[in-house]
Structure 1
Amino acid sequence: MALETLWSNKLRTALTMLGIIIGITAVIAVTAIGQGTQKATEQQLQSLGTDILQVQAGASRSGAVQQGAGSATTLTLEDAEAIAQQVLGVDRVSAILQQSAQVVYGENNDSMTIIGTDINYPDVRNTHPQTGRFFTEEEVKAAKPLAVLGPTARDELLGSGSIAEGAQIRISGQTYDVIGVMETKGAQGPQNPDEQIYIPLTNMSARLVGNNAVKGIAIRGIYIKIKSQEQLDAAQYQTTNLLRVRHGIYPEKGDKDDFRTVNSADIINTLTSTSKLFTVMIVAVAVISLIVGGIGIANIMLVSVVERTREIGIRKAIGATSTAILSQFLAEAVVIAVIGGVIGIGLGIAIAFAASNLFKFPLVISLWSILFGFGLTFVIGLLAGVIPARNAASLDPITALRSD
């Protein structure tokens, strides 16, 4: 009887379900998209290594304005060499310089990020040439004008899928021979290795940057690959103390570090926590939408009781009990909520599937989100139907029969 009643009022039933459908769709889709992007971020960071310690040069100041980390020349190549020799648990160390420069190939002229580095960079950052090769130690020592392109940089300069080896590009007016193309890695936060161009550190220092520290070659950062993740915290502690000794920094005297150390495990944990918090916030908004949908069901059911007062009077007059009337109206409310929930779950999964294909992240549909959403719709439908059902069940049959 509940299904027949709802079917005879299709438009009203559909509009009543709309709030529930939107709420459940939001819960399923947002949860799946949030967990999928979180999984993709973790995979990208782990592909670069979870045993990496990064040291950044300090921030320079211009008057009262502090520039970004790495803008000061507080780290040197000798610092990187000292870390490799003196810090326990270190596997490999790679020093880098980084800056934006105009890159020209034929008629193409783009501003790109140039990374000056050494032979250890591919192993430390777990990113290797897909075609061609990386620099050799002899080429780095000789400051050879060589370049290895990220795949996106190759596509923008030479054309999609072009053979890059043997091409000559100009970086800030200097000619470089392309010897390889790196494998695709995808964006990691604000940086995208696929868009970068790699040249020997010594060449970049001599021909592009031109600003050496008082002692040795100034660098912007140091990547340190640790032998095992268990040694990461100890290596970070030793690296910090070693650099303080080398730079004459005494924290007990109030000196501040002119560098910053970050380990990959902290970055992954921070991003994971942020992603989870964002997902919880959006799910909370979706739950509010479900509650609003439940209020809509209650309103429509109250109107339905008023419209069907005479029908209720007839049923009571021929023997229908208050419990039977109560059960019917509760059943109508629950059916509306459950059918709306099923439709919402289907739409939510479809939206998550489309988003994962469009934005290329893993599809993660958690069982708890489906059970939570479905259970919540059932409870909302039950609660939304209680008051209208009680009103219907408590009607006096004689008064109900007299109504128009």
Structure 2
Amino acid sequence: MLSLTHSVRMALGSIGSSKLRSALTTLGIVIGVAAVIANVSLGASFNEFFTEEIGTVGNNFIIIEGKSPHLFHDNEMKLVKNTPGIVGVSPLRQGVAEAKFISTTRQIQVQGVSEDYEEVANIEMESGSFLDDNDKYMAVLGHDVAYEKFGKNILEKNTIELTFTTRDGEVVTQKFKVKGIVKSPETSFVQSGIESDERIFIPISTMNEIIGEDYYWGFFAAATSMESIDDVTDELDKRLARHLGVPFRDIDNEDAKPYALMNQAEILKEVDQLSAALGSLLTSVALISLIVGSIGIMNIMLVTVTERTNEIGIMKSLGYKNHEVLSLFIVESMVVGLIGGILGTGLGILGAFMADSAMGLPYIFPLDLIFVGMLVSIIVGLLAGVYPANKAAKMNPVDALRHE
């Protein structure tokens, strides 16, 4: 009875006798397994990256945006704030102003907010403090605005000039005292169309006073937890719809409502779906390499069967059964696949690590991918070796011994 150990030893001997051919045979498996492992790891890294990025935008946040001007005022602000499950809310207004520090002028995005914005938007201060609702002509600067935009550092208690242009074309200039500098979140996630580093925050009441308007374009709110955020969003949606006169039959019709709602859980779900789709696409492409690799193993095993026809004849004349010859060649094919899998797994781990480092992604490598890589390579070797092994097992010993 041919033992597995003996089969593996013979397989390694056969592989070692044709090193170059064996190396070329395993190349397809190496590339295929490496590509699959690297792509799955990269998919997990991208998903973790975007989850962390979205987390820097706010804690359990809900964004309410009006589809038209003059929709949201103080009454709507109170409605949002009094919705069960809402722990903080800031009205929002955004516009471009001409900012001047000493003799340098830049076009900067200015955002009007209330004091709750610090908590709901996860703002961390590098120096000074954030705005409070009693402030008037005070400003908080994003990190890049303070240290890069003007070619010189703007410090706490310095003064900057902001010039706004109203809808009527009137130009209004006002001096603001710098109350604090926002710590750079070190994120590339874009919130409301502009990175947090590149904004100037001022009290929204002051911004509306300067511009001569009294409405808000939306609200940035926070729910008590991620577990409750969907329920809180649904309740907020119902209250706003009822308050703004949306018919009950249209409450689930997003196009019929004059506002749009989005929460952190929904964004994370979309990111998960996008990452899964991207990962599936990349993995599907990588599987083509595995198919090519399996064809390579099958071809080389067919050549091996032909070259070893005399050896097969001798084995069968010595009493080796068909299933023993079959198992011998299947084991050899599986060993080729396993060697390719080990090398491919190592290459995939290294490739994923290098790619994550180059792109600044967190390195995420599920350990079960190692077992998946080994299993896939063995299965590929098994499937690729069945036909050549079956052909060898069915050889007539007399004909095999006569083969030259």
TM-score by length of 2: 0.81
- C-alpha separation in 2, matches of 1:109 and 1:4: 76
Residue ranges of structure 2 left out of the alignment (5+ in a row): 1-9, 165-172
Q: How does 1:50-129 map to 2 (within 5 A)?
A: 50-58=59-67, 60=68, 72-84=69-81, 86-100=82-96, 112-129=108-125
- Output the aligned Cα RMSD: 3.2
Q: How does 1:256-335 map to 2 (within 5 A)?
A: 256-313=256-313, 315-316=315-316, 322-335=322-335
Q: 1:401 to 1:21 in 2, by over 3 A?
A: same
Deviations 1:310-349 (A, max 9, x none): 4444555666554454333222211111011111111111
Matched, 1:156 2:148: yes
Q: How many residues align?
A: 380
TM-score by length of 1: 0.81
- C-alpha separation in 1, matches of 2:114 and 2:378: 61
Deviations 1:68-123 (A, max 9, x none): xxxx4422344213432x42333222011123556566797765543221111101
Contact 1:105 1:157 in 2 (8 A): no
Matched, 1:201 2:204: yes
- C-alpha separation in 2, matches of 1:282 and 1:20: 16
- C-alpha separation in 1, matches of 2:331 and 2:348: 25
Contact 1:187 1:194 in 2 (8 A): no
Contact 2:230 2:265 in 1 (8 A): no
- C-alpha separation in 2, matches of 1:318 and 1:402: 16
**Given the alignment, which residue of 138, 147, 165 partners 2:156?**
165
Residue ranges of structure 1 left out of the alignment (5+ in a row): 61-71
**Given the alignment, which residue of 126, 129, 135 partners 1:130?**
126
Contact 2:59 2:222 in 1 (8 A): no
Q: 1:315 to 1:233 in 2, by over 3 A?
A: closer
**Map of 2:392 onto structure 1:** 392
Contact 2:129 2:180 in 1 (8 A): yes
Residue type of the partner of 1:151? H
Residue type of the partner of 2:31? I
**Map of 2:33 onto structure 1:** 24
Residue type of the partner of 1:132? G
**Map of 1:65 onto structure 2:** none
Residue type of the partner of 1:218? Y
Q: 1:125 to 1:310 in 2, by over 3 A?
A: same
- C-alpha separation in 2, matches of 1:278 and 1:98: 34
Q: How does 1:4-19 map to 2 (within 5 A)?
A: 4-19=13-28
**Map of 1:363 onto structure 2:** 363
Contact 2:59 2:120 in 1 (8 A): no
